[in-house]
Amino acid sequence: MDFEIARARLIEHLAAEIKDRRVLSAMAKIPRELFVSPDLAHLAYEDRPLPIGLEQTISQPYIVALMTEELALTGKDKVLELGTGSGYQTAILAELARVVVTTERFPLLIERAGVVLYKLGYKNVEMHLAENTLGWEAGAPYDAIIATAGAPRIPSDLIAQLAVGGRMIIPVGSRYSQDLYKIVKQKQGNKTIKLGACRFVSLIGKGAWETEENNI
């Protein structure tokens, strides 16, 4: 399979909805096939989520592109990512931000993602095993926060880690379906924008879902 041709076709497909050329350029550069198991590599450039083990997924490329576009990164940002997963979203953030701090609950996923990110030469990524509290307070404040798992409400602990003027993208809803939200932190009265329906695995931790029960 010619992955470069497949990648170019995917980017052309995404360009109908995604207008940030920097996001599209980053996705055109990153080999998504390296972030999935070899037996699923032939599906890497279909616009669909794929399993990565441990009941986790690599998100649909359109959702990755949309979430990244809505972060409005400038190249000077410090970004917090909740849910390293395969590391694919991490790589895109690393292309567009000054530094990426990413957390993941599963040591195996951190190990796998770290190997691929190292192979691709990313040196502006800081990886951590997630704690019970959400985010990574030691690195705050962040210019942007992205959560790749759904919460029952917008977590106040994450808002607290966001710089004034910072943007957070997070799925909010039930265990089984969510809406994607963009929150812009302001000195008074944060701005909240609904971006549309989505479906993610559950965000586990104090301030989100505190157990694995009924996780999808």
- 156/131 Cα distance (integer angstroms): 16
Which of 140-171 are b and which e, b meaning 16 or more Cβ less than 10 Å from the residue's Cβ? bebbbbbbbbbbbebbeebeebbeeebbbbbb
Rounded Cα distance, 148 and 144, in Å:
13
What strands, in cross-sheet order, belong to the sheet with 162-173?
A: 125-129, 99-104, 78-82, 142-147, 162-173, 178-184, 191-198
Query: How many Å apart are CA 20 and CA 28, to the nearest integer?
Result: 13
With a CB cutoff of 8 Å and minimum separation 6, the contacts of 189 are none
59 assigned to active site: yes
- Distance from the Cα of residue 131 to its chain's centroid: 18
Q: Under a CB-based contact definition with an 8 Å cutoff, are residues 95 and 30 in contact?
A: yes
Q: How far apart are CA 163 and CA 14, in angstroms?
A: 30
Determine which one of 37, 59, 86, 177 is catalytic.
Answer: 59
Catalytic residues: 59
